[in-house]
Amino acid sequence: MSKLNVNVHNVGGDAVGQSVAGGNVVDITTMQDTNVTNEQYDASPYIGSQLNANVNDVSGSVGYTSQALCNGASVSTDPTTTQVYSNQECRASDPSSTLNANISNVGGDVALAGSSVGNTFEEDTNAPNAPLETNQINSSAVLSTVNANVSNVGGSVGVTSAAIGNSAQIVHYSTGN
């Protein structure tokens, strides 16, 4: 559990904050012929991020983010041959993010975001031979809540909330060789 409580008043510049909770996260980078195996399993009782912000009288901009992630993997390879196998299982009760914000009297912009993700996988390679297998199982509740009261803002206001069970991005490209 990650919890951030913020009270900000009378700031000449910007006011920003972030609360993040994560189960399993891995970043793999290799520049050789490689076999990569990623196994992530999480059955935590709670993966939660909560951010409570009371902000007023800020001359600049305001930005607050609350994020929760069960399993995350990023694989980057640039050899001739690479093989990637990834298996992610999120069986946590709930990766959940909550953002409660009361914002007033801001000279610049306001950006508020909440996100919660069960499994996310990203692979990037220019290997000419690159077989890939990825499996994602999500049996958890994935929850994102943003409650915002915003008033008297000189710039733009953006508020987002996203709850994603499984996500994958695969980028294979050629360098022309």
Sequence ranges of the domains in the chain: 18-172
Residue 96 φ then ψ, to 5°: -140, 145
Can you give the three-state secondary structure of 56-78, one letter per residue?
Answer: EEECCCEEEEEEEEEEEEEEEEC
Q: CA-CA distance, 36 to 81, in Å (whole number)?
A: 11
Q: What is the pLDDT of residues 78-137, one digit of tens each?
A: 888 999 999 999 999 999 999 999 999 999 999 999 999 999 999 999 999 999 999 999
Paired residues of 71 in beta bridges:
24, 119
Return the pLDDT at 62. Answer: 98
Q: Does position 177 have pLDDT exceeding 80, yes or no?
A: no
Q: CA-CA distance, 18 to 99, in Å (whole number)?
A: 10
Question: For residue 144, which of 88, 87, 93, 98 has the smallest C-alpha distance?
Answer: 98
Q: What percent of the chain has pLDDT over 90?
A: 90
Q: What is the mean pLDDT of residues 14-33?
A: 96
Q: CA-CA distance, 31 to 57, in Å (whole number)?
A: 50
